[in-house]
Amino acid sequence: MGLPLRKRNIITTWTRISQDAVFPCFCFACQKPETYLCEQCTALIHATEPLITLNKHPSPLIGVIACARYAGLMKELIHAFKYNGVQELALPLAHIIDTALATAVSLHSITYPLFAVPIPLHARRERERGFNQNTLLAHHLSLMITHTPSILKRTSYTHSQTRLKKHERLLNIKGAFCAYPPIPQSGTIVLIDDVITTSATLQEAAQCLGAYTKTPMWGCVLAHDDIRA
């Protein structure tokens, strides 16, 4: 038997108050208190519409929705979140993805129900980093989006794609994923990743899931670094 709900709520509230006293939270960009990313700074990211690009080649991946360019504040946020472990940024960053997906729905690019599949890390990479940034993002998405992390796993440990050329990235990621049915058969599968450069990772993940479903698949990323599809 656990504690009664009221007692649990009191403990949770006091834990949060004492945590805030020890680790007060501030807007990452402007230092405004009591938020990790304030409305005004979020609005700076929303100043431009998400970039929605269709795939130029035949592929189970229909296209990619990118919330912003990989530059300025967005680049700093992703660095802090992914490399400096500021996991509290997952929620405000997930809200940015929610908004981009809502825009894509309103433009009829994608249709409900939406199934969010975070691009998985290999277990070894996840141990090294301590978390999977994509899983955290997908976990904090709107309740309108179904979080389905267990249908895709990474089975091979690949070197970082960062310094590789496009054809090297495709080779590096080939066969890196394994699908675990049942895979959604309706709506849209949305592959969640932090940054896109060549779309090699998203293409390979979609290829893997595409063996089990005809459901349209889209990538949705926080930022694009000059997409070279």
**Choice from 27, 66, 97, 217 touching Zn ion (CB under 5 A):** 27
Q: How far is the CB of 222 from Zn ion (least distance, A)?
A: 17
Length of the chain: 229
Q: How far is the CB of 36 from Zn ion (least distance, A)?
A: 9
Q: How far is the CB of 20 from Zn ion (least distance, A)?
A: 17
CA distances in angstroms from 157 to 172, 197, 200, 219, listed in the order given: 10, 20, 15, 21
By the rule CB under 5 A, 29 interacts with Zn ion: yes
By the rule CB under 5 A, 96 interacts with Zn ion: no
By the rule CB under 5 A, 89 interacts with Zn ion: no
Per the CB < 8 A criterion, the answer to whether 229 and 203 are in contact is no
Instruction: Report the residue number, 41 or 101, with the smaller CB distance to Zn ion.
Output: 41
Q: How far is the CB of 30 from Zn ion (least distance, A)?
A: 3
By the rule CB under 5 A, 107 interacts with Zn ion: no
Contact range with Zn ion by CB under 5 A, out of 37-45, 114-122, 128-136, 139-147:
37-45
CA distances in angstroms from 3 to 8, 14, 69, listed in the order given: 6, 15, 47
By the rule CB under 5 A, 25 interacts with Zn ion: no
* Residues in Cβ contact with 68 at an 8 Å cutoff, skipping those fewer than 6 apart: 45, 48, 50, 74, 96, 222, 223, 224
By the rule CB under 5 A, 30 interacts with Zn ion: yes
By the rule CB under 5 A, 45 interacts with Zn ion: no
- Picking from 224, 183, 184, the residue whose alpha carbon sits closest to that of residue 202 is 224
Instruction: Report the residue number, 43 or 143, with the smaller CB distance to Zn ion.
Output: 43
By the rule CB under 5 A, 41 interacts with Zn ion: yes
By the rule CB under 5 A, 110 interacts with Zn ion: no
Cα–Cα dist 133/204, whole Å: 19
The token pair at 24 is 């007060």
Which amino acid type is present at position 87?
Q
Per the CB < 8 A criterion, the answer to whether 156 and 122 are in contact is yes
Contact range with Zn ion by CB under 5 A, out of 5-13, 22-30, 144-152, 170-178:
22-30
* List of residues contacting Zn ion (CB under 5 A): 27, 29-30, 32, 38, 41
